[in-house]
């Protein structure tokens, strides 16, 4: 099968607030990211994003020279101060998103993670990207303030 050519028309991609932007197809870039699901004592750790004001699973974009797993360990530590170990991959989601005025084909890989040590009494969120970090009871997850992909991954992992 011949390699596909980019479409001639602009690609319409939403930003974090849902507004649609148009970009030439050649400007769209892949953005792989890795996110960690940490559950301990029937509680889940979630981070409150400064950009969306939604609760997310900790993690973020990986650098081109990093594996997904090493990028997740780095991102998780940067955001939470916790060192995690990867247990298993849970799933992957993809979407198109405009972020900081740039168009991305977002590939998000989700992993179950664990810590090798006792958790600190309080967590301090990374101030550039997060508003808060919080342990949520598994039966009190703030579903109305989360994106559907993260919720699907959590539900899948809890089955």
Global pTM reads: 0.91
**Beta strand extents in the chain (DSSP E only):** 11-14, 20-23, 29-40, 43-49, 55-56, 59-61, 84-99, 102-115, 130-137
Range 23-116+124-158 classified under CATH 3.40.190.10: no
CB atoms within 10 A of CB 67: 12
Helix, strand, or coil here: 24?
Answer: coil
pLDDT at 116 (0 to 100): 79
For the stretch 7-43, pLDDT in tens is 899 999 999 888 999 999 999 999 999 999 999 989 9
């Amino acid at each position: 099968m011949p390699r596909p050519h980019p479409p001639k028309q602009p690609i319409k991609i939403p930003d974090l607030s849902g507004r649609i932007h148009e970009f030439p197809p050649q400007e769209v870039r892949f953005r792989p990211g890795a996110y960690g699901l940490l559950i301990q004592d029937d509680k889940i750790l979630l981070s409150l994003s400064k950009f969306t004001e939604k609760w997310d699973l900790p993690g973020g974009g990986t650098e081109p020279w990093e594996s997904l797993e090493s990028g997740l360990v780095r991102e998780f530590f940067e955001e939470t101060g916790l060192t995690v170990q990867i247990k298993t991959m849970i799933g992957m989601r993809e979407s198109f998103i405009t972020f900081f005025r740039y168009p991305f084909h977002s590939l998000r890989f989700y992993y179950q993670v664990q810590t090798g040590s006792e958790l600190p009494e309080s967590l301090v969120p990374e101030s550039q990207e997060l508003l808060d970090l919080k342990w949520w009871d598994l039966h009190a997850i703030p579903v109305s303030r989360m994106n559907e992909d993260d919720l699907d991954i959590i539900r899948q992992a809890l089955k």
